[in-house]
Amino acid sequence: MPAFLRFLLAALSGWLVYFSYEPHGHWAAGIAGTAMFFLSLVPWPGEGRELPTARLGALLGFTHALTCYLFLLPWIGEFVGAMPYIALSVFLALYGILTGVLGVLAARLPCGYLGLPLLLVAVEFLRSSFPFGGFAWVRLAWGQINGPLANLAAWGGPALVTAAAALTAAGAVGALTTRGRGGRAAGVACLLLPLAAGAAAGQGVNLDSRTAGTVRAAAVQGNVPRLGLDFNAQRRAVLDNHAAETRRLAEDARADNRPLDLVFWPENASDVNPFTSAEAASIITSAVREVGAPTLVGTITRGESGEHNTAVVFNPDGTAGDAHNKRFLQPFGEYMPMRDFFRHFSAMVDLAGNFKPGDDDGVVRMGGVRVGVATCYEVAEDAAYRMAVKGGAQLLTTPTNNATFGFADMSYQQLAMSRMRAIELDRAVVVVATSGISAMVHPDGTVSQHTGIFEAAHLVEDLPLRETLTPAARFGAAAEWALVLAGIAVALGAVVATRRGYAASGTRAR
């Protein structure tokens, strides 16, 4: 295949993978796009020695990733301009070089297409971990939330879903490019088995027999005065909005004669610290007293180490209870790594906060219920909710503040992650946002109701409480490491085989 056709295939494949993510949510596009990318890396029947070089593989991997991220991440530049969004897309695409180089080397081995999914998982792990905690937002798994492979999250977390999607794609490649009936049959098996496993796994998701009780929960979306980064300058208005919506919630609950058990406010619902502002404390406690249920309030607090992004429980009697200080902070947003260095490139680095991470397990007690909290960006981090359910969380919540990103795709992409976490951990999730999208998510990942973006609203629903641990909660990290180590083994094997091959022929890689 000519190099320019491989390049075109890689670019189109990244664009196609983008359509698997929300708000599009076409899960099959993620598999098809990954298959097209793998096709750009592997030798085709009859090509002889005209195989993709390592240099071409680097270009193909970078092109595939960059095309996908340029379509996927424009929300990052919604109010700070295009430069940070493009810079992040380019940086993340650099990891694709590793996938491309190692992919073309592995593809030269017998049945080498089978190693490509493991390489993809290994590079995804690297990109999601380094540097500064990585960027897990662009994992292939998130685009599978509407398909059968999402059910595998309960067995191995998002890493297993990524591996299954990539194996399905590799199977399609093997069926198309492998000579011989046996080779094609193996490819078809790799194509179909993950889908069958996902469908079978769905039979064990969200079983009523695991429900330990129910709770009547409410999500309060107060909305913000206007769009943009400066909305927090109007923090008193944001607080007033959430207090007002809570009073409307209380009126509805009295009219229905069905008292509430738990109420959730979003991240940054009160950017005025209620522990230092008597006025903010009065507004919050008055609203909580009226609604008559423990309420989780997103606010800003200050400890010995500095400021924290905190979710704190306020009780109807006016007391404050448990709190969760956000542990997994967003680099370049909530804190600025190497601030002095990056200031040489842009003054916008000073828009980043200076928050300090917490060290708790994310569990807060609300009445008699143990609730696991993953604030906004934390939902993308595997450890956040896994720690919470191991700490006894019976219900999960994702309080988030998406107002900065306007009507862009960020809210939809983040909701997909909460849905995946629900399946992974067999817990209902209350997603509550300042400006949308708030949602009630059941343990099978379905959304029973949700708000629109930039509307004041509240949601109320009876949700199940669960206490058992899924295999992913127990062994998800180990499963991911096993896949990553297998990917490293494939990479090392491909490099060693390539060196031996060139040594035997007296040539070297281009």
The pLDDT confidence band at residue 229, using thresholds 50, 70 and 90, is very low
**Is the N-terminal amide bond of 23 cis, ω within 30° of 0?**
yes
The span from the CA of 73 to the CA of 63, in Å, is: 15
Strand partners, 324: 311
Phi, psi of 464 (to 5 degrees): -75, 150
Query: Is residue 479 located within the same domain as residue 458?
Result: no
Given the residues 245, 326, 381, 424, select the one marked as catalytic: 326
Query: Is residue 28 located within the same domain as residue 113?
Result: yes
In this predicted structure, the answer to whether residue 61 has a pLDDT above a threshold of 80 is: yes
Among the ranges given (189-193, 349-353, 379-383, 488-492), the one the predictor scored with the smallest mean pLDDT: 349-353
Its sign, for the CA torsion 387, 392, 395, 397, is negative
Query: Is residue 493 located within the same domain as residue 421?
Result: no
On whether residue 365 sits in a domain, the answer given is: yes
Query: Is residue 87 located within the same domain as residue 221?
Result: no
The span from the CA of 400 to the CA of 414, in Å, is: 9
Amino acid at 169: A
On whether residue 335 sits in a domain, the answer given is: no
Given the residues 267, 381, 424, 480, select the one marked as catalytic: 267
DSSP string, 436-471: S--EEE-TTS-EEEE--TT--EEEEEEEEEE----H
Q: Note the pLDDT of residue 474.
A: 97
Domain count, the chain: 2
Q: How far, CA to CA in Å, does 449 sit from each of 24, 216, 224, 263, 458?
A: 18, 14, 21, 16, 10
In this predicted structure, the answer to whether residue 370 has a pLDDT above a threshold of 60 is: yes
DSSP state of 34: H
Amino acid at 414: Q
Query: Is residue 287 located within the same domain as residue 434?
Result: yes
**Is the N-terminal amide bond of 31 cis, ω within 30° of 0?**
no
Q: Note the pLDDT of residue 105.
A: 95
Q: Note the pLDDT of residue 333.
A: 76
Reported for 181-189, long-range contacts at CB under 8 A and 24+ positions apart, including other chains, are 183/111, 186/111, 187/113
Among the ranges given (44-53, 328-337, 377-386, 465-474), the one the predictor scored with the smallest mean pLDDT: 44-53
On whether residue 80 sits in a domain, the answer given is: yes
Q: Note the pLDDT of residue 233.
A: 55
Among the ranges given (249-253, 330-334, 345-349, 380-384), the one the predictor scored with the smallest mean pLDDT: 345-349
Query: Is residue 450 located within the same domain as residue 492?
Result: no
Query: Is residue 52 located within the same domain as residue 11?
Result: yes
Phi, psi of 336 (to 5 degrees): -120, 100
- Give the mean model confidence (pLDDT) for residues 33-49: 86
Q: Count how many residues are written for the chain.
A: 510
- Give the mean model confidence (pLDDT) for residues 41-62: 85
Q: How far is CA 251 from the centre of its chain?
A: 35
In this predicted structure, the answer to whether residue 231 has a pLDDT above a threshold of 50 is: no
In this predicted structure, the answer to whether residue 79 has a pLDDT above a threshold of 80 is: no
CB atoms within 10 A of CB 430: 26
Is 279 a known active-site residue? Answer: no
Query: Is residue 309 located within the same domain as residue 381?
Result: yes
The pLDDT confidence band at residue 227, using thresholds 50, 70 and 90, is low
On whether residue 346 sits in a domain, the answer given is: no
Is 124 a known active-site residue? Answer: no
In this predicted structure, the answer to whether residue 347 has a pLDDT above a threshold of 70 is: no
Q: Strands, DSSP E only, in 401-446?
A: 429-433, 439-441
The H or E element spanning position 148 is: none
Q: Note the pLDDT of residue 346.
A: 66
CATH number at residue 439: 3.60.110.10
On whether residue 291 sits in a domain, the answer given is: yes
Show the tokens assigned to 237.
């208005």
In this predicted structure, the answer to whether residue 435 has a pLDDT above a threshold of 90 is: yes
Query: Percentage of the chain with pLDDT > 70?
Result: 93
Given the residues 376, 378, 381, 480, select the one marked as catalytic: 376
- Give the mean model confidence (pLDDT) for residues 203-211: 92
In this predicted structure, the answer to whether residue 125 has a pLDDT above a threshold of 90 is: yes
In this predicted structure, the answer to whether residue 508 has a pLDDT above a threshold of 60 is: no
- Give the mean model confidence (pLDDT) for residues 4-21: 97
The span from the CA of 83 to the CA of 460, in Å, is: 40
Query: Is residue 112 located within the same domain as residue 233?
Result: no
Is 376 a known active-site residue? Answer: yes
C-alpha angle 347-350-353 in degrees, rounded to nearest 5: 155
CB atoms within 10 A of CB 428: 27
Q: Note the pLDDT of residue 324.
A: 97
In this predicted structure, the answer to whether residue 297 has a pLDDT above a threshold of 90 is: yes
Phi-psi group of 447: left, alpha or beta (phi > 0 → left; psi -120 to 50 → alpha; rest → beta)? beta
The pLDDT confidence band at residue 407, using thresholds 50, 70 and 90, is confident
Per the prediction, the chain carries an average pLDDT of 92
C-beta separation of 421 from 400 below 8 A: no
Query: Percentage of the chain with pLDDT > 90?
Result: 79
- Of 31, 135, 54, 141, nearest to 93 (Cα)? 135
C-alpha angle 274-275-278 in degrees, rounded to nearest 5: 60
Q: Note the pLDDT of residue 505.
A: 63
Among the ranges given (235-249, 324-338, 396-410, 446-460), the one the predictor scored with the smallest mean pLDDT: 324-338
- Of 53, 123, 153, 39, nearest to 417 (Cα)? 153
In this predicted structure, the answer to whether residue 255 has a pLDDT above a threshold of 90 is: yes
Query: Is residue 319 located within the same domain as residue 423?
Result: yes
On whether residue 333 sits in a domain, the answer given is: no
- Give the mean model confidence (pLDDT) for residues 410-432: 98
On whether residue 337 sits in a domain, the answer given is: no
Query: Is residue 31 located within the same domain as residue 169?
Result: yes
Among the ranges given (59-63, 80-84, 257-261), the one the predictor scored with the smallest mean pLDDT: 80-84
Q: How many CA atoms lie within 13 A of 14 on its CB side?
A: 25
Q: Which structural domain, as residue segments, surrounds residue 31? A: 3-204+473-505
On whether residue 143 sits in a domain, the answer given is: yes
The pLDDT confidence band at residue 226, using thresholds 50, 70 and 90, is low
Let me know how many helices (H) and strands (E) the chain has, helices first: 13, 12
Q: Edge-to-edge, what's the strand order for the sheet holding 320-325?
A: 320-325, 307-314, 295-302, 262-264, 211-221, 457-466
Query: Is residue 180 located within the same domain as residue 55?
Result: yes
The span from the CA of 462 to the CA of 476, in Å, is: 29
